[in-house]
Amino acid sequence: MANLIVLGLLGGIGSGKSTVARFFQEFGAVVLDADAMARAELDREPAKGAILKEFGTSLLDEEGSIDRERLGDIVFRDPERLRRLNGMVHPLVRREVRRRLEELRAAPGATSGAVLVLLDVPLLLESELNALCDRRLFVEAPLELRVERVRAYRGWSGDELERREKNQKSIDEKRAGADYKVINDGALAPVRAQIRAIFQDLISRPGNP
């Protein structure tokens, strides 16, 4: 059985969580990306049929896949519909995360040293998956910079970012729930250096997790 250290990733929208995850991956961590898992679930049964029944077949794009932008536009303006969508997709994602962790734990050849698993799960603190984390890391980036980033890569306004963050625990709660903090307020090289140090700390410290 492999010794896993499960590290949960916290941070505001556009703070740099995916960027941080990429650096962890580079240093040898296994990243479990719940967003990617949710996207995969959206396009297969049982979630796909349930979503089309609830939200209508006009959500389908030309390829017959669910248009996630359209779906997002609906649910982020209507908390009840968001709750229903999450109820269809989240249990499947949780099951997949647990399955992957069991698989990694049982993996042959991983018996020496610890394996770091980074859980990149939106709304981690609100999720049952939070209980699976041995440690948590918070990505710190100023709001102005996050607004600038989401405007550039998603075309969102600052209002849109704030509306979506209202569905989540506050930045203060995320920060308070973390054992490690990474500052992402400028160039990428210092971010990489911070991740390297945290990776080493987690992997090498006796008694971890």
State which H helix or E strand residue 195 sits in.
Answer: helix 188-204
Name which position in 17, 48, 136, 174 contacts ligand ATP (CB under 6 A). 17
Binding mask 125-154 for ligand ATP (x = CB under 6 A): ------------------------x---x-
Please tell me whether residue 19 binds ligand ATP under the rule CB under 6 A.
yes
The answer to whether the beta carbons of residues 89 and 41 sit under 8 Å apart is yes
* Amino acid in the structure at residue 40: A
Name which position in 4, 31, 101, 184 contacts ligand ATP (CB under 6 A). 184
Please tell me whether residue 8 binds ligand ATP under the rule CB under 6 A.
no
What is the 3-state secondary structure of 159-173? HHHHHHHCCCCCHHH
Name which position in 4, 7, 10, 13 contacts ligand ATP (CB under 6 A). 13
* Structure tokens given for 32: 């479990």
* Structure tokens given for 187: 């160039």
What are the residues binding ligand ATP (CB under 6 A)? 11, 13-19, 149, 153, 184, 188, 191
